[in-house]
Structure 1
Amino acid sequence: MTDTERPASTEAAVALAQSLKKLAEADRLLLALDFDGTLAPFVDKPKSARALPESKAALERLEKLPDTWVAYVSGRPLTSLEIVTEADEDALLIGSHGVEIRFGRDGVSLDLSVDELDTLTRLGEVLGALVKANPGTRLEVKPVGFGVHYRKLEHGSGAEVVAAAYEAAAAVSDQLTIRDGKDIIEFSVRGANKGDGIERLREYTHATAVLFAGDDVTDEDGFLVLRPEDGDVGIKVGEGDTAAQFRVSDEKAIATLLTLLAGAREARG
């Protein structure tokens, strides 16, 4: 769905309501949700981000229901995701775009090779130097790579930083996984995406229907693995071309939808 091809708002709202009603009746329901920009507004200090109270309350209601699972699927490292979601030991978490997985109390080891570790070290050095030379940027350390944030730069100047980051990273390796997100460019020594994470979650929970919501370019990998013909629902938050069936304006709209879904799922009995 592109911005110019969106159905009329009333028709879209009716179709979304019908899809959520059907979703609430699923035998085994998985809610796989991006965090930043979907459940939580963006903030300057990433670790201070929290889901809107309405979303948090709705998710807590849903988690208590039988045959219903809530999972967070994020580009954040797992340690950061654990903090902002205030996850308990039984939470289902996909971090680093699918590279890190925590299903309850069991995690997945990264087991980086010697070559990957060497590339990771050199990548950190060149991107660290880039950030130091460009005030207003920030380097985020991830388990298998780094992200260069440039949201605080003046409009338009971020493109220069992105180009410089590409050049610096290419000098280290031509085998990196590169993701261009909202005001961040990421380079990783190992490839995985949110679609991979959702498929792992589907397999783990044996879900018969999946709801995935996200706002970023990197969430498109998640939308692409959904199966609308089986009752899956994809929701894009905000503007931009998307493979999702539906679109909502912001985090508050997601909170409203989750509250409605919780009520419908509870009424199912």
Structure 2
Amino acid sequence: MLPEDVVAALDAVADAQPLLVATDFDGVVAGFDPDPLAVQPTEGVMSTLHGLAALPGVHVAIVSGRDLTTLRLLTGLSGEDAITLIGSHGAESTNPAVQSGMHSRALTGDDLARLDVLEGELRDLVTTRHPQARVERKAAGVAVHTRGLPEDVARPALEEARSLGQSRDGVRVLEGKSVLELSVSPADKGSALVALSRTIGPAARVYLGDDVTDEDVFARFEAPGDVTVKVGPGTTAARHRIADTDAVALLLADLLARRAVAQHG
């Protein structure tokens, strides 16, 4: 069962025209797995998102720190679908309006060279000092993953990766659950969804997120009609909270049902 405040918020935006429904991927659309490439969307969630995207006046987006290629693979979306994909914390999207709306540029040769150096330094650090951690090269950054590792192993790996990033010019440190990314892009989830909003002009926006990087969205989605939902525990600027990915599936199905009723009387 959804919390009463969430139900009331969904009811209030069910007939908004247009309506933007956006969500993080890991920990929201999908659960977690020690192998980041083994995660799967919660049963029924993708079909519900497709159902929402098929309704008149509803725009759906999935935003993630994952690169766009991986996000396509895990969601099963090709980029030709009605659902907008936003990857690399906003640095990539299947919708060109996202990048143009942020006035962002493609990574330069200097950016890529800096990324190559970062990757080498991070791999050396992990190999020599934290061999149980995993390094992932992304389109605009390099990440260290510690999911499934004991706290006394994970913490120093993330702390040293953070120190490395903070000591380098032009590098942003993005922290998440059991992951830390060093990025050479200025993009974030909040600015990406604000850019998408400008092209849609939504009367209301719904956003679901579970991680630290989702707070960028929660802070920016502050209009009276916006519904921001934190998934799971932790300090947040979101207006509402639900427990877990099962509750996400319930929330999205509830919104789909309410929207369909509102449109068909």
1:81 aligns with 2:81: no
> In the alignment, does 2:241 pair up with 1:247?
yes
Question: How far apart are 1:169 and its partner, in Å?
Answer: 3.4
> Is 1:50 paired with 2:40?
yes
SS at match of 2:3: helix
SS of alignment partner, residue 131 of structure 2: coil
The reply to whether residue 59 of structure 1 matches residue 49 of structure 2 is yes
Question: Counterpart in 2 of 1:132?
Answer: 127
Residue of structure 1 equivalent to 2:93: 101
Among 5, 9, 28, the alignment partner of 1:38 is 28
Displacement of 1:170? 4.6
Higher mean alpha-carbon deviation, 26-35 vs 102-111, is at 102-111
- In structure 1, runs of 5+ residues without a counterpart are 1-9
Residues 77-226 of structure 1 mapped to structure 2, 5 A cutoff:
77-88=67-78, 89-90=80-81, 91-103=83-95, 111-133=106-128, 134-170=130-166, 173-226=168-221
Say whether the 8 Å CA contact 1:54–1:256 is kept in structure 2.
Answer: no
Contact 2:62 2:85 (8 Å CA) reproduced: yes
Structure 2 gap ranges (5+): none
What's the C-alpha RMSD, in Å, of the aligned pairs?
Answer: 2.1
Secondary structure at the aligned position of 2:163 is classed as: helix
Q: 1:25 to 1:80 in 2, by over 3 A?
A: same
1:82 aligns to what SS in structure 2?
helix
Query: Is the aligned partner of 1:68 residue 2:58?
Result: yes
Residues 1:191 and 1:115: Cα distance change in structure 2 (over 3 Å): same
- Residue 45 of structure 1: CA displacement? 2.4
> How big is each residue's C-alpha offset from its partner over 1:132-154, in whole Å with a ceiling of 9 and x where there is no partner?
22222111111111000112321
TM-score, normalisation: structure 1: 0.89
SS in 1 for 2:152: coil
C-alpha separation in 1, matches of 2:99 and 2:75: 17
User: 1:15 Cα shift?
Assistant: 1.9
1-side partners of 2:260 and 2:68: how far apart?
30
Q: Given that residues 91 and 99 in structure 2 are in contact (C-alpha distance below 8 angstroms), is that contact kept between their aligned partners in structure 1?
A: no
Within the alignment, does 1:259 sit opposite 2:253 as a pair? yes
Structure 2 length normalisation: TM-score? 0.90
Q: Number of residues paired by the alignment?
A: 257
Distance of 1:263 and 1:184 partners within structure 2: 35
Q: Which residue identity lines up with residue 88 of structure 2 in the other structure?
A: S
Give distance in 1, aligned partners of 2:50 and 2:215: 26
CA distance in 2, matches of 1:32, 1:82: 16
Amino acid at match of 2:124: A
Taking the aligned partners of 1:70 and 1:105, their CA distance within structure 2 comes to 14
Q: Percent of pairs identical after alignment?
A: 36
CA offsets 1:205-233 (integer angstroms, 9 cap, x no match): 2221110000001100010111341x110
Deviation, structure 1 residue 115: 2.1
Query: Shift of residue 52 of structure 1?
Result: 1.1
